[in-house]
Structure 1
Amino acid sequence: MQVGKYKISYIETGSFALDGGAMFGVVPRPLWEKTNPPDEINRITLGARLLLLESANRKILVDTGLGGDWNDKFRRIYRVNQLQEPLLSSLSKKNITSEEITDVILTHLHFDHTGGSTKLVDGKWLPTFPNAKYYVQEKQFEWARNPSERDRASFFNERFLPLYEHNQLELLNGKYNLDDEIELIVVNGHTFSQQLVKVADSSNTLLYCADLFPTSSHIPIPYVMAYDLQPLITIEEKKDILKSAIKENWILFFEHDPFSAAATVTQTDKGYSVKEKFEQLV
């Protein structure tokens, strides 16, 4: 897919699993299990799909997945299914080295979105992409450093603090234009100051949905994760995004959908729903 000067593709870094009830909040299991069947202990499969934007002089990565170097207990709890170095291995298939990445946009700092931002080298955590500038909202960074008891388990300091310590972290305050085609949109329902990535030109718009719409199954308004800190705000944010997505025919890109990479949306008398799903970006 081409948007402006950017060639857009995505990177699959494996899968993991979370509790289905937590992923769908108040929606009962007989409804969500139709599209996301759970395993024997109620976990559903989730993808770890990242976006890659390439121009003549930039290679931009959106989120970094779980990354490697997790212990056996972690891998067992979250049913991690990936290579030890999933991100670097996937990039190498595209003939891209870690040194070539110029920018990394982090939607937020939960472990499944920033786990691959650092790597363990001789017992020390270092930025995975030594020449890249990493972007995150300052309010999200401060929250990640001092989270609540409710969401403390979602943050691992070694997965993002080395970026700050090595002066590679750019802290943003609100909506931000990385350039003419890339806009970062701030939402606050899931966690404070999550940023969605909108890539647009005069003809096409793609929105990297992160955890506002983690999967295509989360398009209907009531389908809100129990993980969200402010679920009522999530609902309003979903409505605002979906109105624009329908009006301007946006493609919504899903980080965690195990089956579909992206979709367009529509509205009927029953509410918002998927119009067309895409397994590839063309």
Structure 2
Amino acid sequence: MKLNEWKAGAFQLTWLKGGLTQLDGGAMFGVVPKPLWSRKYPFNELNQVPLRADPILVEVYGKRILIEAGMGNGRLTDKQKRNFGLEEESQVIESLAAKGLTPADIDIVIMTHMHYDHCNGLVSLQDGKLVSTFPRSVIYVQEQEWAEMREPNIRSRNTYWEENWRPIEQQVQTYGERYEVLPGITLHHTGGHSQGHAIVRMESEGKLVLHLADIMPTHAHQNSLWVMAYDDYPMTSIFAKEQWIKDGIAQGAWFTFYHDAIYRVVKWNENGEIIDQLNVEL
């Protein structure tokens, strides 16, 4: 099994195969007209765009950390598979095995938010029962996100599912506006895509890596105004992108992705041009 790997300072990053969906391009790019977004990202005859759901394994300080959890296996009904355009289920366990690891070797799971396409992989079906996929891990979730996960509103109940939090609730540790998971790895609450959405900042040996999760799901969403119709608070997403993307570029940051089907990592110059990248290779 081929896995994309990349190193930044002390951080060793590996993208695990977490699944693939095809979602409506109009929903993914919101009010941006198709003649604009279609120049920057591929689409099919149904106007659907390919979206990976690939967790990032970060190895550092003798710890193994997952950013996000993948689509999971056997977690969607046939109707959901059709509606969500599921093309490929998770191969996270197989990806870990390719590195000589098991789910029990994961120490920490960082969840930027708890929508089904990010957290289905936290829970697995074993002997007819839903159990935690990563039984030894601490699972970090922003406190507002965790509250809404357990008591969703009329809109969010379609993506916050009880079966995705009940089996792992004893492992969850919440935080507020900012939390340092390990030296150089901090979580920052942004809101926007969801009320409790957070991003991951990693810095080591002079290298800065920003994982902006679903406020910038693909490289084609680099423009601060290009936000998804899925965002609960689009203006909050725009303000967060304005801050983190512009400051990141000015600091020479690398930007990593969970959903992008083209790039794993990109680096932009001040003109917004890609000057270095790691391509998705499967």
- Asked if TM exceeds 0.5, the reply is yes
Please show how residues 207-246 of structure 1 align to structure 2 within 5 Å. Answer: 207-246=210-249
Letter in 1 for 2:14: S
Secondary structure of the 1:267 match is coil
Aligned-residue Cα RMSD (Å) equals 1.8
Equivalent in the alignment of 1:156: 161
Q: 2:53 aligns with which of 40, 48, 56?
A: 48
Equivalent in the alignment of 1:141: 146
What's the CA shift string for 1:129-159, capped at 9, x where partnerless?
1111111011101112222222321222212
Please show how residues 59-70 of structure 1 align to structure 2 within 5 Å. Answer: 59-69=64-74, 70=76
| Residue 278 (1) aligns with residue 278 (2) | yes
In structure 2, what is the Cα distance between the partners aligned to 1:207 and 1:86?
Answer: 25
What's the CA shift string for 1:77-110, capped at 9, x where partnerless?
2221224x52112211121101111110111000
Secondary structure of the 1:242 match is helix
Equivalent in the alignment of 2:3: none
Q: 2:129 aligns with which of 102, 124, 128?
A: 124
The size of the alignment, in residue pairs, is 275
Please show how residues 49-198 of structure 1 align to structure 2 within 5 Å. Answer: 49-69=54-74, 70-83=76-89, 85-164=90-169, 167-198=170-201
Equivalent in the alignment of 2:15: 10
TM-aligned CA deviation for residue 280 of structure 1: 6.5
Secondary structure of the 2:205 match is coil
TM-aligned CA deviation for residue 179 of structure 1: 1.6
TM-aligned CA deviation for residue 25 of structure 1: 0.7
Letter in 2 for 1:19: D
In structure 2, what is the Cα distance between the partners aligned to 1:125 and 1:190?
Answer: 27
In structure 1, what is the Cα distance between the partners aligned to 2:252 and 2:105?
Answer: 33
Is the Cα contact below 8 Å between 1:4 and 1:181 reproduced in 2? no
In structure 2, what is the Cα distance between the partners aligned to 1:172 and 1:236?
Answer: 22
In structure 2, what is the Cα distance between the partners aligned to 1:204 and 1:213?
Answer: 20
| Residue 31 (1) aligns with residue 52 (2) | no
In structure 1, what is the Cα distance between the partners aligned to 2:274 and 2:194?
Answer: 25
Is the Cα contact below 8 Å between 2:112 and 2:141 reproduced in 1? yes
Q: 1:277 to 1:56 in 2, by over 3 A?
A: closer
In structure 2, what is the Cα distance between the partners aligned to 1:97 and 1:118?
Answer: 15
Is the Cα contact below 8 Å between 2:131 and 2:168 reproduced in 1? yes
TM-score, length basis structure 2: 0.91
What's the CA shift string for 1:41-71, capped at 9, x where partnerless?
3221101122111135311111001111122
In structure 2, what is the Cα distance between the partners aligned to 1:59 and 1:52?
Answer: 7
Letter in 2 for 1:52: L
Secondary structure of the 1:91 match is helix
In structure 1, what is the Cα distance between the partners aligned to 2:237 and 2:116?
Answer: 20
In structure 1, what is the Cα distance between the partners aligned to 2:278 and 2:60?
Answer: 23
Structure 2 unmatched ranges of 5 or more: 1-5
Secondary structure of the 2:209 match is strand
Secondary structure of the 1:162 match is helix
What's the CA shift string for 1:11-39, capped at 9, x where partnerless?
23231011110110110011112233333
Is the Cα contact below 8 Å between 2:9 and 2:204 reproduced in 1? yes
TM-score, length basis structure 1: 0.91
Which piece of structure 1 moves more, 219-228 or 27-36? 27-36
Is the Cα contact below 8 Å between 2:111 and 2:118 reproduced in 1? yes
Q: 1:40 to 1:152 in 2, by over 3 A?
A: farther
Q: 1:280 to 1:46 in 2, by over 3 A?
A: closer
Is the Cα contact below 8 Å between 2:149 and 2:165 reproduced in 1? no
In structure 1, what is the Cα distance between the partners aligned to 2:16 and 2:141?
Answer: 20
Is the Cα contact below 8 Å between 2:176 and 2:189 reproduced in 1? no
Secondary structure of the 1:59 match is strand
